[in-house]
Structure 1
Amino acid sequence: MRLNESTAVSTARALLVPYEARHVLTYHGWMQDPAILEATASDRLTLEEEYENQQSWRSSHDKLTFIICQPLSSPATAERVQAGVADAPDRMIGDVNLFLYPHEEDFAEDGDEMPSKVGEERVDCVGEVDIMIADQEHRGKGLGRAVVQAFLQYIWRHADDITDEYALDKGLIGRPKLRHLMAKIGQQNVRSVALFKSLGFEQVGEVNYFGEVTLVLRDLGEFATKEVPEAYKELTYQRDEETQNGQPGEQQ
């Protein structure tokens, strides 16, 4: 998505930055790990394909992604993030993503607003959330929960902007409703299942053909108003050419 191309999200536990070409080499290195490929249900790509994939993430209006980095040294006072410094390769940890899909269930639910339409086609959407902590040093320490918590906060605060960009790309009339968020997780990945359940996601249905469970968060607003991450701030992601008056951004 274009929405977050100049935005970083900072909390006491992590920094989220837009996925840039500068991150691809490190990301590609992560994706050579067979365990990560299996856990993320991903195909192994060439480096050239990975660069193309990064461009697709930036231009597609139904995908939102951040690279997870170590937190800033002074998250409470930071006002901007200098690209290439706070998100240098040795500070990168993983990524967190949102995929938007058309909502395919019955729309005739009590209290629902009328969905947006293209002609007579119903086109409300749902969002799928996933996270990858690639650096093993940072696993099992509660970081994944803190990152998803921050990501959900960002989605809630920008839900209208997210669905407006989605609608513009699809040529929809009016703003589609983001019905709910979901996560699809391999049933053997008990840590991830527990992580999303701790954030209020509930399992629906049985294990699917691919061995995945589906977890759903139906009321994002209720969650986001109760669970605001410590030192949550949205900062300007400042690239080199955007530095003004010779003033550097936050260094770490």
Structure 2
Amino acid sequence: MKINENTLLDGHKVVLVPYNAEHVPRYHEWMKSPELQQLTASEPLTLEQEYDMQRSWREESDKCTFIILDKQQWADTSVEEEQCMVGDVNLFLTDPTDLSLAELEVMIAEPSYRGKGIGKEVTRMMMCYGVTKLGIQKFQAKIGLDNQVSISMFKKLHFQQVSVCHVFREVTLELTVDEPVRMRLLDDMAFMKERDYRQTCSNRQELVSQ
């Protein structure tokens, strides 16, 4: 999605940055994992196909993608950005007749970063961006039945289970963004800052010291 091609979202533990070509090799290595393929219902791609996917996600108007970076590690300018990658987060506009509905997908690909509250922070950051920048009024999350950690996280964020598909072994949860939900989200995420990605990249250390 073009709208976020130069957007950086600054959180407590993470920064979210646009999915660029230099991120593809690390992402491709992640997606060789049978565990991640199962959790994301994905098929393995060749590296060339992964580059094609990255380009399409940047251009297509129904997909908004950010790469999750470890903020503390990213502050060290001697570390390449792709070495700071933790996972990714996506919003998919799945209904062309209703652009206020988005499917939300979060992947913490690095096992050492799981169970530390990063998924919750990233999810709320992406929801806040979706509400304020894309006009999203309802979020959906489709999660494998075996992924109880993610199901529990979304329920803690007030998503409600609306259906279970035993054929595909997934559960669908939803959250409607009415005014109380919107105000609570904006209040909870008041710490998040939206920055110019290219400008911030040139002075990473300053971001963490603020």
Shorter-chain TM-score: what band?
0.7 to 0.9
The reply to whether residue 64 of structure 1 matches residue 64 of structure 2 is yes
Q: Matched residues in 2 for 1:230 and 1:135: separation?
A: 27
Counting matched residue pairs gives: 203
* Aligned with residue 169 of structure 2, among 176, 199, 211: 211
Residue aligning to 1:165: none
Offset at residue 15 of structure 1 (A) = 0.4
Q: Any unmatched runs of 5+ in structure 1?
A: 75-80, 104-122, 161-177
Indicate how the Cα distance of structure 1 residues 7 and 188 shifts in structure 2: closer, same or farther if over 3 A, else same.
Answer: same
Q: Any unmatched runs of 5+ in structure 2?
A: none
Offset at residue 223 of structure 1 (A) = 2.9
The reply to whether residue 138 of structure 1 matches residue 113 of structure 2 is yes
Whether the 8 Å contact between 1:32 and 1:44 is mirrored in structure 2 is yes
Residue aligning to 2:95: 102
Residue aligning to 1:250: 204
Whether the 8 Å contact between 2:73 and 2:84 is mirrored in structure 1 is no
Greater than 6 Å deviation, 4+ residue runs:
84-87
Can you list the C-alpha shifts for 1:165-217, whole angstroms capped at 9, x where unaligned? Answer: xxxxxxxxxxxxx4511000011110000111111110002334201000001
> 1:210 is aligned with what amino acid?
F
SS at match of 1:238: helix
Q: Matched residues in 2 for 1:91 and 1:224: separation?
A: 31
SS at match of 1:61: coil
Q: Matched residues in 2 for 1:16 and 1:101: separation?
A: 22
SS at match of 1:101: coil
Q: Matched residues in 2 for 1:221 and 1:24: separation?
A: 38
Whether the 8 Å contact between 2:102 and 2:139 is mirrored in structure 1 is yes
Residue aligning to 1:154: 129
| 1:71-82 aligned within 5 A | 71-72=71-72
Q: CA RMSD in A?
A: 2.5
SS at match of 2:58: helix
Whether the 8 Å contact between 1:12 and 1:230 is mirrored in structure 2 is no
Can you list the C-alpha shifts for 1:133-154, whole angstroms capped at 9, x where unaligned? Answer: 0000000111101110111111
Whether the 8 Å contact between 2:131 and 2:137 is mirrored in structure 1 is no
Residue aligning to 1:17: 17
* Aligned with residue 187 of structure 1, among 137, 141, 145: 145
Indicate how the Cα distance of structure 1 residues 87 and 194 shifts in structure 2: closer, same or farther if over 3 A, else same.
Answer: farther
The reply to whether residue 128 of structure 1 matches residue 122 of structure 2 is no
The reply to whether residue 237 of structure 1 matches residue 188 of structure 2 is no
Offset at residue 124 of structure 1 (A) = 1.8
Indicate how the Cα distance of structure 1 residues 5 and 90 shifts in structure 2: closer, same or farther if over 3 A, else same.
Answer: same
Can you list the C-alpha shifts for 1:99-128, whole angstroms capped at 9, x where unaligned? Answer: 10227xxxxxxxxxxxxxxxxxxx223210
Q: Matched residues in 2 for 1:2 and 1:140: separation?
A: 32
Whether the 8 Å contact between 2:137 and 2:178 is mirrored in structure 1 is no
Whether the 8 Å contact between 1:181 and 1:218 is mirrored in structure 2 is yes
> 1:53 is aligned with what amino acid?
M
Whether the 8 Å contact between 2:65 and 2:91 is mirrored in structure 1 is yes
Q: Matched residues in 1 for 2:159 and 2:177: separation?
A: 10
Whether the 8 Å contact between 1:72 and 1:250 is mirrored in structure 2 is no
User: Once the two structures are aligned, what percentage of the paired residues are identical?
Assistant: 38
SS at match of 1:36: helix
Whether the 8 Å contact between 1:180 and 1:217 is mirrored in structure 2 is yes
Q: Matched residues in 2 for 1:217 and 1:51: separation?
A: 33
Residue aligning to 2:53: 53
> 1:6 is aligned with what amino acid?
N
Whether the 8 Å contact between 1:152 and 1:224 is mirrored in structure 2 is no
